[in-house]
Structure 1
């Protein structure tokens, strides 16, 4: 049997990859940079280009090759448009303050979702539901209407199409936005991925249960209701005392080492937060301030979908104002309190109230501090604090690289779109819910001492109450659309008229 030559063995690694063959067929050098930031890792650029090449080969190349076999410039033109979009999105992400979105807007919307669902559930068998004739999704839709979502959970395609078209118009130069074919192809691909693949999947209750179970790291087997009986205690002896004494010393030393390590990490983090350079003044429009509620009980639909900014007002003289802080820690605590209904149990309320007091006490350190310059009322100096600093550390290129790799592995496992996965049966969905309700943590001490205080005497019932507002696909569609509106409105405030 002839052995392969050295030339044939060395030819493989030198062959151009898929992205270079499809997206840059006429280029002889390296692929051009995709991101505008010079600190972007090269592997991130390669992964994003590879993902774009796989998507275009799967969704565009099959029907385009039937139209013409000789035009090889269509895919490079789409790549050029996508490059403009990616760079524009990168600029907007770096130029926007994402801390209010992550720590304030998203928890408030989810909290309002829980409240509206529970209000609709309470009205299900009353005269508000026409004597029980109206289901919970219809009642929820009446409490939280959205112009693009119907009561049965269907999304208006034209609404999403207009949003995507506006994003392309904001990101593309006029000469690239004017031609219709490339822009329509990109718009319809994004629309298909969102409305046919992503949103129908992530709004399923079983999919949410699966994500929670994956994050908790729970096994596939349902935890037993009764714990195994402990062996009979051995008679007290000198050997037993020595073992207990040494075990206590080991536990104490381990606890002390953990506390020392936590203290060092806390001191190091505090130093890094305080040494974070102050952001340059941010110009802003002086407008009439909106009333701020004491608690996040505003309807999410009115605060996101139908928000209209107030008219600009001119201030002749503006004295130096005191530094302003945003309550970034409180919305998350309100969300936890609403999910687990801590106000209905005295022990849980006694735990949440000190946490709220601590969050209020440490607000100047936890939240972002904004000080208005005395000589310019339209400019702010932003002093980052702990929570915005942690967000900046979390939103790193490494996270984006991991996300792109997971998406490529999931959507294109063999280089081509994977067959649609089979949805779990009703029995499998019930098993996932049972595993979630049976979860008690990985520590017996937590199960016996912490959970009864926070979740009450029946943790399974409390957990069932916590996941019930996510058990309706139609209601989950409302939640996803409001979150999507909030994210797009943060990156593209011109959609809100700002």
Structure 2
């Protein structure tokens, strides 16, 4: 099974707080008092909120209890004061920054008014640390390839199809049905019943109450699985931690802001802008190299009318020759890379766990999967978790085709891809089937470029700077109006369109920039309803919880609590 290996790193040594002093020569005049003023200010402003120094200062000030080591030149390292959260120091630093901000903004604001004691905060940190360590151990057993490229895209594809079916009315008014009711009937979710209606305030209030109860039960179930018995018996701590996760994270975050269409469009815009900056930097470097190579070419000194025509004709032939040569070189390089990759794929690690490899004739993966049904875990579409789905058969490809509306816009491309997919899975050699050469290559690329543990700390740091600018809660942003939301969607569509080459735009969307932007806005409109977005986001949260804690799918929360507390 695919595992996300968070390798332990060497504990970072503490740095001494020794300020450097500059020596002034006797000939140099003494600095005026005004000269000393900008130096500390410049030092404070130069520190980024997400820098290591600012992050350590935030964690020490909020989470570390006061100690009697003020006379020490070197403060105690964080790992000696706080319990470890994971096996990676970099990940622990970013997670403790999140915890420090949440505790400072939502716990210490009222707890410090009662008592200056720090033990309560220490107990909360210990509970969170125990949960994160248990989650990391469970995360190692999860098939992340299947989760990220099959199950989560499957949820998104179901959402896209249900949203399109709900908003494509088959009957004219007044016989049309409400889109939210159609969507909820296609994707039922008990916590979001009844369907809220602006004309019925009782239904809105009842739906909010059902959603709050669902969030609380979900968090209590997670705590019942992860927490040790002595911590689970402490009702005050479990209640407070449960409220932090159910209301502040799930309620205000996922069920509140994250489900708003304008926020999702802004998030997509920011991701597209990051990609656009990287592509623009790369294209500028290539253009600079190209201009340098062109400037080094010789130019004839004697340029007359006849020589200019002959020179242009010769250059056109030369360009055509080099262009053909480049295409031939590219084709040979691609064929060589493909043959070499397939030949060396046998040395890549197998995707099938050793426990599933049963020697003997007539044993297939379907047979091995059927044996796992005797003790099944929660698996989508009745498939046991131990069965390895080929990457070419995962839902990420059909989800992308549904999002781009490929079957309607370019059916010949969709058919060609389907034929190639079928040939790789069922053709000679089954090179795309599970543990085949292509399957191993794709799995190796995913493990190297997507599931690399080194990408997690920068991702957490970026998320912290976006959610908590300057390591604090930003001012409450008023929700944009309907016209402002349309402008946000239009900007998102324009940013996404800029990532597509002009030649591809003309072929796929047709002529006219306004038309292309409008068609991309129609694609983005699948996130245009906050109520429908809640179905998708809660489905994602529930899928992640069940994959990490399959006990919640087998037993109820009351049964789990009774077993633990008895």
Residue 334 of structure 1 corresponds to 398
Residue 524 of structure 2 corresponds to 467
Q: Determine which of 407, 414, 419 is the counterpart of 2:470.
A: 414
Q: Is structure 2 residue 424 aligned with structure 1 residue 362?
A: yes
Report the aligned-residue RMSD.
4.3
* Cα gap change, 1:207 to 1:411, in 2 (>3 Å): closer
Structure 2 CA distance, aligned partners of 1:367 and 1:401?
34
Aligned-partner SS, 2:131? helix
The 10-residue stretch of structure 1 (83-92 or 192-201) with the greater mean CA deviation from structure 2: 192-201
Query: Aligned-pair distance for 1:303?
Result: 8.7
The equivalences for 1:220-369 within 5 A come to: 237-245=309-317, 247-248=319-320, 274-278=346-350, 279-281=353-355, 286-287=372-373, 325-330=388-393, 331-345=395-409, 348-363=410-425, 365-366=431-432, 368-369=434-435
The 10-residue stretch of structure 1 (467-476 or 335-344) with the greater mean CA deviation from structure 2: 335-344
Structure 2 CA distance, aligned partners of 1:273 and 1:180?
54
Query: Aligned-pair distance for 1:179?
Result: 0.9
Structure 2 CA distance, aligned partners of 1:170 and 1:48?
21
Aligned-partner SS, 2:475? coil
Q: Greater helix percent: which structure?
A: 2
Contact 1:209–1:436, Cα closer than 8 Å, also in 2: yes
Structure 1 CA distance, aligned partners of 2:144 and 2:96?
26
Q: Determine which of 199, 204, 219 is the counterpart of 2:260.
A: 204
Structure 2 CA distance, aligned partners of 1:86 and 1:269?
38
Q: Determine which of 47, 51, 58 is the counterpart of 1:18.
A: 58
* Cα shift readout 1:146-200 (whole Å, capped 9, x = no counterpart): 0111323856111111111111222221112221222222221122122113432
* Cα gap change, 1:26 to 1:361, in 2 (>3 Å): farther
Contact 1:140–1:475, Cα closer than 8 Å, also in 2: yes
Contact 2:262–2:488, Cα closer than 8 Å, also in 1: yes
* Cα shift readout 1:58-77 (whole Å, capped 9, x = no counterpart): 221111101112x1111121
Q: Determine which of 105, 126, 136 is the counterpart of 2:179.
A: 136
Residue 138 of structure 2 corresponds to 92
The equivalences for 1:177-188 within 5 A come to: 177-188=232-243
Contact 1:47–1:404, Cα closer than 8 Å, also in 2: yes
Which runs of 5 or more residues in structure 2 are unaligned?
A: 1-31, 48-52, 68-74, 197-206, 277-305, 357-367, 556-566
Residue 380 of structure 1 corresponds to none
Q: Greater strand percent: which structure?
A: 1
Query: Aligned-pair distance for 1:414?
Result: 2.3
Structure 2 CA distance, aligned partners of 1:419 and 1:144?
35
* Cα shift readout 1:388-423 (whole Å, capped 9, x = no counterpart): 433333123222212211122123322321112344
The equivalences for 1:429-440 within 5 A come to: 429-437=485-493, 439=497
* Cα gap change, 1:473 to 1:412, in 2 (>3 Å): closer
* Cα gap change, 1:34 to 1:130, in 2 (>3 Å): farther
Residue 487 of structure 1 corresponds to 544
* Cα gap change, 1:389 to 1:175, in 2 (>3 Å): farther
The 10-residue stretch of structure 1 (86-95 or 402-411) with the greater mean CA deviation from structure 2: 402-411
Aligned-partner SS, 1:113? helix
Please tell me whether Structure 1 or Structure 2 has the larger radius of gyration of its CA atoms: 2
Contact 2:261–2:530, Cα closer than 8 Å, also in 1: yes
Aligned-partner SS, 1:362? helix
Aligned-partner SS, 1:354? helix
Q: TM-score, normalised by structure 1?
A: 0.72
Q: Is structure 2 residue 99 aligned with structure 1 residue 52?
A: yes
Structure 1 CA distance, aligned partners of 2:61 and 2:468?
18
The 10-residue stretch of structure 1 (165-174 or 17-26) with the greater mean CA deviation from structure 2: 17-26
* Cα shift readout 1:252-309 (whole Å, capped 9, x = no counterpart): 566567667766776776677543434442699732699xxxxxxxxxxx997xx999
Structure 1 CA distance, aligned partners of 2:407 and 2:54?
65
Which runs of 5 or more residues in structure 1 are unaligned?
A: 220-234, 291-301, 311-322, 371-382
Structure 2 CA distance, aligned partners of 1:15 and 1:396?
23
Aligned-partner SS, 1:131? coil
Structure 2 CA distance, aligned partners of 1:251 and 1:355?
28
Structure 1 CA distance, aligned partners of 2:340 and 2:232?
48
Q: TM-score, normalised by structure 2?
A: 0.65
Structure 2 CA distance, aligned partners of 1:158 and 1:105?
26
Aligned-partner SS, 2:118? coil
